[in-house]
């Protein structure tokens, strides 16, 4: 199918959606008649910020963006009830995932253990205990801090990665150990299954991205590009993944089939976490306290919020709270961020993902090392610890190592709030 045919197919759908929603054809005409000189360029951005984009491709992109806005549920959320704290890990929780049906949560910790939780009751269903260093040849499980985990979109496989360079594959239902992937030369810091497949992407402090076929228990390929340790990775349905490059201060989009990458600059500190909002947009957080919203088609952020969680320290020596976790409710305008300033912050993306509007914050004491929305958007889970997942720079003694389940409820509309943009 050629690009021109895809465009007209899309536009036909666009007209149908517009008619169904009461939108005028004038809106479509306005989108499609827009010239190559985009909004960002009229705001003084460089002409090359849109990457390899022709006029036809731009029209297609704008039409798709408008379609996404029509189809995406406006799911601005509000905090609904009391928090629930699930405790079972002895050391800080470092990562977590929610099962596709929202019935279970899997969490992992610096104590090297994995726990499967029942969301409704809060009970532990399965525990894979951590082992001592030096027992790798006989212990079934991890013997080093677990830094990341991922679950396949059909809920079949769970993957976990640790400081000891290992990736382990588990049967999610029973937590039975299946495979061990070796090949990374340093800590495994990011994992993500490509949606709708059992292809697994992994990122490491060795600065590489690897691709694995879990069904075949097979290694596929390795890609390089980052100049510092990779601190986070995410993917959706497309054959690509996005990564945060720590102190090389880049976000990268990896096109797996083409074996190519796109490089994005915007943060002034170490980029420690990243998450896709949809196939076209992503959010990242850094230790300079900033949150950034990106389009995969632009080299610079669409929006940056500096000191998103405030500052700490004596007057004149204030430092921003590091952003230690971000997440997004896929294909909506809802995102969340975590730090160690005793709160999880909920945000709403403004029109065109060009602003972030603070919605509300939830009190959570400790380092928020991982955040995940449930697939339904009915709750948010925060993995919390007394220490940051990657180090021991500070210790918050009053924090509890555990999972906070934060109930949410959706609301269709709310008063417009002033946007926050720290640029």
What number of CA atoms fall less than 13 Å from residue 342's CA on the CB side? 6
Give 398's DSSP letter.
T
Between 417 and 159, where is the model more confident?
A: 159
Q: Which of 148, 157, 310 is nearest to 244 (CA)?
A: 148
What pLDDT does 273 receive? 96
Between 323 and 12, where is the model more confident?
A: 323
Q: Which residues are bridge partners to 289 per DSSP?
A: none
**Residue 90 CA to chain centroid, in angstroms?**
26
Q: Average pLDDT of the chain?
A: 84
pLDDT tens for each residue of 277-294: 999 999 999 999 999 999
pLDDT value at 422 more than 60: no
pLDDT value at 70 more than 90: no
Q: What is the C-alpha R_g of the chain?
A: 21
Q: Which of 324, 329, 330 is nearest to 344 (CA)?
A: 324
What pLDDT does 2 receive? 46
**What percent of the chain has pLDDT above 90?**
70
Least confident range from 49-63, 109-123, 301-315: namely 49-63
- For residue 411, count CB atoms less than 10 angstroms from its CB and return exposed for 0-12, middle for 13-18, buried for 19 or more: exposed
CA dist 156 → 99, 118, 151, 153, 339 (Å) = 10, 17, 8, 8, 31
What pLDDT does 52 receive? 60
Sheet containing 208-213, strands listed edge to edge, beginning at the edge strand earlier in sequence: 188-193, 199-204, 208-213, 218-224
What pLDDT does 176 receive? 97
* pTM metric for this prediction: 0.81
pLDDT tens for each residue of 258-277: 999 999 999 999 999 999 99
**All residues at 6 or more sequence positions from 191 whose CB lies less than 8 Å from its CB, including other chains:** 148, 149, 150, 159, 160, 161, 167, 200, 201, 202, 203, 233
DSSP alpha helices (H): ranges in 22-114? 25-32, 39-42, 55-71
What pLDDT does 390 receive? 74
Rounded mean pLDDT of 318-329? 95
Structure tokens at 221: 């390929």
CA dist 252 → 78, 246, 262, 266 (Å) = 32, 11, 5, 12
What pLDDT does 152 receive? 98
Structure tokens at 223: 């890609």
Between 42 and 279, where is the model more confident?
A: 279
Rounded mean pLDDT of 145-155? 97
pLDDT tens for each residue of 207-220: 999 999 999 999 99
Between 106 and 134, where is the model more confident?
A: 106
What pLDDT does 59 receive? 65
pLDDT band at 316 (very low <50, low <70, confident <90, very high): confident
Between 399 and 43, where is the model more confident?
A: 399
What pLDDT does 395 receive? 83
Rounded mean pLDDT of 5-18? 45
pLDDT tens for each residue of 330-377: 999 999 999 999 999 999 999 999 999 999 999 999 999 999 999 999
Question: SS3 helix, strand, coil % of the chain, rounded to 5?
Answer: 15, 40, 45
Least confident range from 21-35, 140-154, 162-176, 402-416: namely 21-35
Phi-psi region of 289 (alpha: psi -120 to 50; beta: other; left: phi over 0): left
**CA–CA separation, 305 vs 293, rounded Å?**
9
pLDDT band at 148 (very low <50, low <70, confident <90, very high): very high
Rounded mean pLDDT of 376-400? 87
**25-32 helix and 55-71 helix, angle to the nearest 10 degrees:** 150
pLDDT tens for each residue of 19-34: 444 444 444 444 444 4
Tally of CB atoms within 10 A around 103: 14
Structure tokens at 4: 């021109």
pLDDT tens for each residue of 172-209: 999 999 999 999 999 999 999 999 999 999 999 999 99
């Amino acid at each position: 199918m050629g690009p021109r045919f895809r465009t007209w197919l899309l536009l036909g759908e666009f007209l149908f959606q517009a008619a169904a929603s009461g939108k005028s054809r004038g809106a479509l005409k306005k989108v499609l008649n827009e010239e190559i000189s985009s909004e960002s360029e009229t705001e003084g951005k460089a002409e090359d910020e849109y990457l390899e984009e022709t006029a036809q491709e731009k029209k297609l992109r704008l039409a798709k963006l408008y379609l996404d806005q029509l189809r995406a549920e406006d799911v601005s959320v509000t905090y609904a009830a009391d928090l629930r704290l699930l405790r079972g890990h002895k050391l800080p929780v470092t990562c977590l995932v929610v099962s596709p049906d929202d019935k279970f949560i899997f969490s992992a910790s610096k104590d090297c253990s994995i726990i499967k939780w029942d969301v409704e009751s809060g009970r532990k269903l399965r525990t894979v205990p951590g082992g001592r260093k030096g027992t790798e040849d006989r212990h079934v499980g991890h013997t080093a801090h677990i830094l990341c985990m991922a679950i396949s979109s059909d809920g079949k496989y769970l993957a976990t990665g640790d400081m000891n360079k290992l990736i382990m594959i588990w049967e999610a239902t029973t937590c039975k150990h299946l495979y061990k992937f070796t090949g990374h030369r340093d800590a495994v810091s990011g994992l993500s299954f490509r949606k709708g497949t059992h292809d697994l992407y992994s990122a490491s402090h060795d600065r590489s991205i690897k691709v694995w076929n879990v069904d075949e228990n097979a290694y596929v390929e390795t890609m390089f590009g980052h100049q510092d340790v990779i601190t986070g990775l995410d993917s959706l349905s497309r054959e690509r993944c996005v990564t945060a490059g720590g102190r090389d201060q880049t976000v990268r989009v990896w096109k797996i089939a083409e074996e190519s990458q796109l490089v994005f600059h915007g943060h002034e500190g170490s980029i420690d976490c990243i998450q896709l909002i949809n196939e076209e947009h992503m959010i990242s957080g850094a230790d300079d306290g900033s949150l950034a919203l990106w389009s995969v088609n632009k080299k610079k952020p669409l929006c940056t919020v500096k000191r998103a969680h405030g500052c700490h320290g004596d007057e004149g020596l204030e430092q921003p709270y590091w952003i230690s976790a971000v997440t997004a409710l896929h294909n909506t305008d809802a995102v969340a961020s975590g730090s160690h300033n005793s709160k999880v912050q909920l945000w709403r993306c403004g029109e065109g993902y060009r602003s972030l509007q603070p919605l509300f914050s939830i009190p959570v004491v400790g380092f928020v090392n991982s955040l995940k929305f449930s697939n339904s958007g009915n709750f948010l889970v925060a993995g919390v610890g007394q220490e940051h997942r990657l180090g021991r720079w500070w210790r918050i003694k009053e924090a509890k190592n555990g999972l906070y389940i934060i109930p949410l409820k959706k609301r269709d509309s709310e008063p417009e709030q002033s946007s926050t943009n720290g640029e």
